[in-house]
Structure 1
């Protein structure tokens, strides 16, 4: 293990770059089909609904609150702890279950039945569908803005070839992550969008480090054998990639398994995004540098 960390291996990653393109293209196509045909399980942030904040007299298990809401017919509610005492929770119920007044009456009935009045409703808030529509647009704009900013930053720091090769994998990662949400039916809300943006930054960081090594090697050896040079650069950063991605993956996996229902979507987005992001940094970004250099700029590259 120590030898592996100190001495870079000699793995020919780009030998299967065509297979990588086919695999990524197929997964992206399947994800887009799922997104447009099946769609998403949109959360309260995007669809609208009612938020009820309740404080109990003693510590309450979130599972008992879920049983209470299920008792009055609310199956897919979002329950989130407020504070650290385990006594206060926010219950978020989608707009499909009716008006704020109807939902409030049913929730109060359920709480009375299960908790015998040992609680206090602190706040009832209605989120309209217009606000949800605005949040959906804002989420799309934020992802697009991040992509444009990254394109400009990488183009300025490196050169246009690297900028294009960095941004395409980010679209790849974002689409595949969204496709997994469509497939699994996990709720898509603002916390998930935040997780996707986090993943894009994480993936870009790994890609930039590889690009930095490619640029250093180009200064030493030139671009005559770019395919071999990119392979060498990926191998030189492989130990770092395995250590950082591995430790992050285990941390996020623990969050997914033990973080509770309210963190499922957020941690799932991070989990899937880290896997796809690490894959795209190695098999997509590096391969694109070689092929964009070859086909757009018409330079002779040994393949």
Structure 2
């Protein structure tokens, strides 16, 4: 029989579950409002358009480059540093159908070379608007499909209350991560979408570990208090959760600092997602299962009486 943790060794996570649920609800509301009002700063992958990477032999003055582009008819161009002070990325919304990416790139380089004659084009990319819309639609369907599959798996593997808690916790992670991208105005491109899908997998892994320990303790610990059993389970998995999160964060911080501009959004989304995912695995999924009335009886297998057992007990 599993040894029960002493009361003083058990962390009472669920004592603040109402406060954490209110906090999560507030974050979700703020995120949804921001996405509805401000929207997401979709990158070239979703909006379509032309992106030109330009290299310089010295540190580039963003304002000077932007001013030169505006005077040459590119007032809507987005100019930002790209990896270092000697590289910039210029993004431009789609032009007419008869205007090719090469033409746009040459015109932009002509404008930039008016202030920086030694500027060189490193690369140029073009994404059509219809392709961007398709990517946006397919990305949303990918997240929805993942959540539905997770709901079915957890319901079959554990119990439907755990399944609902796990899926709502994952939805909580996705909405808050996207909401922070909207609030901060960070670029949302395909790498960020990939990071959000990775966050779903990471958070689900933590939730499955916690749910499995709760189910095991429901069956083995001789306590009828659901909240106490969940507290014991969360305490037992805490070291594993913290070690997983910390080692993951070390890698993500390194990617965020030294990974370069290409994967900056990817690393940012994962950093946010790991924090939110660890929090939701401890508080959101378990709190929702409690609110739905999970009990010890729901996870204890029903004993089926064998045929003829009543005759075995006869004198």
TM-score normalised by L of structure 2: 0.77
8 Å contact from structure 2 (residues 173, 273) kept in 1: yes
Residues in 1 aligned to 2:251 and 2:59: alpha-carbon distance in whole angstroms:
24
Report the Cα offset of residue 225 of structure 1. Answer: 1.5
Residues in 2 aligned to 1:61 and 1:231: alpha-carbon distance in whole angstroms:
59
1:72 is matched with which residue? Answer: 69
Q: Provide Cα deviations, 1:67-104, integer angstroms capped at 9, x if missing partner.
A: 896453543458589xxxxxxx9956231677536522
Larger Rg: 1 or 2?
2
Matches within 5 A, 1:132-143: 132-143=132-143
Residues in 2 aligned to 1:80 and 1:194: alpha-carbon distance in whole angstroms:
21
Unaligned runs of 5+ in 2: 1-7, 71-76, 300-315
Report the Cα offset of residue 45 of structure 1. Answer: 0.6
Report the Cα offset of residue 180 of structure 1. Answer: 0.1
Matches within 5 A, 1:14-53: 14-52=14-52
2:108 is matched with which residue? Answer: 107
Residues in 2 aligned to 1:132 and 1:62: alpha-carbon distance in whole angstroms:
34
2:309 is matched with which residue? Answer: none
Residues in 2 aligned to 1:76 and 1:198: alpha-carbon distance in whole angstroms:
29
Residues in 1 aligned to 2:61 and 2:48: alpha-carbon distance in whole angstroms:
21
Residues in 1 aligned to 2:298 and 2:210: alpha-carbon distance in whole angstroms:
23
Report the Cα offset of residue 47 of structure 1. Answer: 0.6
2:93 is matched with which residue? Answer: 95
Report the Cα offset of residue 121 of structure 1. Answer: 6.9
Aligned pairs, how many?
A: 279
Structure 2 CA distance for partners of 1:298 and 1:22, relative to 1, 3 Å: farther
TM-score normalised by L of structure 1: 0.80
Q: Determine helix, strand or coil for the equivalent of 1:195.
A: helix
- Whether 1:270 and 2:270 are equivalent positions in the alignment is yes
Residues in 2 aligned to 1:251 and 1:129: alpha-carbon distance in whole angstroms:
35
Residues in 1 aligned to 2:29 and 2:132: alpha-carbon distance in whole angstroms:
28
Unaligned runs of 5+ in 1: 1-7, 82-88
Residues in 1 aligned to 2:121 and 2:34: alpha-carbon distance in whole angstroms:
42
Residues in 2 aligned to 1:9 and 1:264: alpha-carbon distance in whole angstroms:
41
Root-mean-square deviation (Å):
3.3
